[in-house]
C-alpha cells in the first residue's frame, strides 16, 4: 500500500478494499479511504502496518502544515480508523488518531428569485431538468446522477432515492415536476439512467459535470455566490422551513440520520430569524409601545383640565 498509484495492488490494499466492500461501503467512499491511506504510505514510503502511533501523529501534523481542508483531514482519519481497527486489528491505535474540530460555517443559500434565475439559465433541456430535480427534491449530487428512469413512480408521485449508506427513501414530486420529467424523457428516451453521460449513454452522468454546470449557470445568471449542487440542497431545506414545513419532515426529505444535522437550517431560515426581534419587542416593550392614533382622535376636542384635578 505504498504510493497513490493504484498499481501494483498490494495484499494489504486488497484486504483493505475487501473489508470495505464486505461492510457495504459506497464505491466513492472506498476510493476516498484508499486515497487517504495511500497519502500516509507515500509520506513515510512505508506500508501502514509498519508504522506506530507517533508516526500517525507526525503525518497528521504534516496535513495541518499543508493546510489540508477539514473535510479531507477527517476523511483520512476515518480511513485510518477503519484500517487499524478492522483490517490490521490494532484497536489501540485508533484511540490515538484524533479528529479535527469541525469549523461551524453556515451554508450558502440563494433566495427563491435567485434560484429561478439559476434554473432558467441553461439552454439544454437536460441541464434545466437536472438542476430542477436537484433543487425541487433536495438531492445530493451522487443521488442525482444515480437516478434511473425506473425510480420515477408516477402513480404515487414520488422518486425513489438511494442515499448515503445505501439508505432508500421516497421524495414526493409535484405535478409540474412530473410534466418536466416527461417532456425531458421524450427528448432523450433513456432506458436506464435518467441523466446518461454525453459520450456514453450506457453510463451515468459524472458528478463533476453537474458541478461544472452549477458554476457556469451561476456565473451566467449573475450570481455573486459560489453555487454547487449542494447549494441547491441547502436552498431546498431552507425554503421549506421558511414556508412553514416542520423540521422532522425536512429531515425525512433530506435523508438525514440525525435531527441535529437538519437543525443547522434553522440558523439560515429568514422566517425563523426575523421572528426573534418581533418576539423580543413584544415581550419587553409590548405594554409600553406607543399606540397608533385613530383617525377620529384628531377631530375630537381636547378635554379642558380643571384646576386642582388630574
Whole-prediction pTM value? 0.72
- Residues forming the active site: 140, 164, 230, 233, 256, 265
pLDDT value at position 308? 44
pLDDT value at position 280? 67
CATH dotted code for 11-94: 1.10.150.130
The string of pLDDT tens digits covering residues 250-272 is 999 999 999 988 998 888 777 66
Question: What string of DSSP letters covers 102-169?
Answer: PP--PPP---HHHHHHHHT---SHHHHHHHHHHHHHT--HHHHHT-BGGGEETTTTEEEEE-GGG-EE
pLDDT value at position 305? 44
Is 287 in contact with 281 (CB distance < 8 Å)?
Answer: no
Which grid cell sits at 164? 448515503
CATH dotted code for 112-267: 1.10.443.10
- DSSP bridge partners of 196: 204
Instruction: Break the chain into its structural domains and give their ranges.
Output: 11-94, 112-267
pLDDT in tens, the chain (310 residues): 544 444 568 999 999 999 999 998 988 899 999 999 999 999 999 999 999 999 999 999 999 999 999 999 999 999 999 999 999 999 999 989 999 887 778 889 999 999 999 999 999 999 999 999 999 999 999 999 999 999 999 999 999 999 887 789 999 999 999 999 999 999 988 889 999 998 888 899 999 999 999 999 999 999 999 999 999 999 999 999 999 899 999 999 999 999 988 998 888 777 666 666 666 666 666 644 445 555 555 455 555 444 444 3
Task: Report how many helices (DSSP H) and strands (DSSP E) the chain contains, helices first.
Answer: 14, 3
- What strand order describes the sheet that includes 158-162? 152-153, 158-162, 168-172
- What is the DSSP-derived secondary structure letter of residue 200? -
- What is the DSSP-derived secondary structure letter of residue 45? T
pLDDT value at position 167? 86
CA atoms of 76 and 91, how far apart (whole Å) = 17
Q: How far apart are the first and last CA of the chain?
A: 94
Amino acid at each position: 500500500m505504498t504510493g497513490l498509484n493504484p498499481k501494483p495492488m498490494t495484499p494489504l490494499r486488497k484486504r483493505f478494499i475487501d473489508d470495505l466492500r464486505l461492510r457495504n461501503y459506497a464505491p466513492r467512499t472506498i476510493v476516498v479511504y484508499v486515497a487517504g491511506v495511500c497519502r500516509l504510505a507515500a509520506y513515510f514510503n512505508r506500508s501502514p502496518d509498519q508504522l506506530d502511533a507517533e508516526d500517525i501523529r507526525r503525518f497528521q501534523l504534516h496535513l495541518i502544515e499543508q493546510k489540508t481542508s477539514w473535510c479531507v483531514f477527517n476523511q483520512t482519519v476515518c480511513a485510518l480508523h477503519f484500517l487499524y481497527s478492522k483490517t490490521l486489528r490494532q484497536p489501540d491505535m485508533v484511540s490515538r488518531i484524533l479528529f479535527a474540530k469541525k469549523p461551524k460555517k453556515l451554508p450558502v443559500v440563494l433566495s427563491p428569485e435567485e434560484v429561478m434565475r439559476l434554473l432558467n439559465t441553461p439552454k439544454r433541456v437536460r441541464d434545466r431538468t437536472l438542476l430542477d430535480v436537484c433543487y425541487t427534491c433536495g438531492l445530493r449530487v451522487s443521488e442525482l446522477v444515480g437516478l434511473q428512469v425506473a425510480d420515477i413512480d408516477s402513480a404515487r408521485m414520488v422518486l425513489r432515492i438511494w442515499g448515503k449508506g445505501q439508505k432508500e427513501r421516497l421524495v414526493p414530486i409535484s405535478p409540474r415536476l412530473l410534466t418536466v420529467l416527461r417532456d425531458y424523457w421524450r427528448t432523450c428516451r433513456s432506458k436506464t439512467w435518467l441523466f446518461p453521460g454525453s459520450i456514453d449513454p450506457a453510463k451515468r452522468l459524472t458528478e463533476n459535470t453537474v458541478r461544472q454546470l452549477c458554476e457556469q449557470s451561476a456565473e451566467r445568471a449573475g450570481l455573486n455566490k459560489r453555487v454547487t449542487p449542494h447549494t441547491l440542497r441547502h436552498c431546498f431545506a431552507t425554503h421549506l422551513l421558511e414556508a412553514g414545513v416542520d423540521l422532522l419532515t425536512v429531515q425525512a426529505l433530506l435523508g438525514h440520520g440525525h435531527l441535529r444535522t437538519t437543525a443547522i437550517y434553522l440558523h439560515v431560515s429568514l422566517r425563523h430569524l426575523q421572528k426573534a426581534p418581533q418576539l423580543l419587542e413584544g415581550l419587553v416593550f409590548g405594554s409600553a409601545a406607543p399606540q397608533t392614533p385613530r383617525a377620529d382622535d384628531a377631530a375630537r376636542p381636547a378635554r379642558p383640565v380643571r384646576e386642582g384635578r388630574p
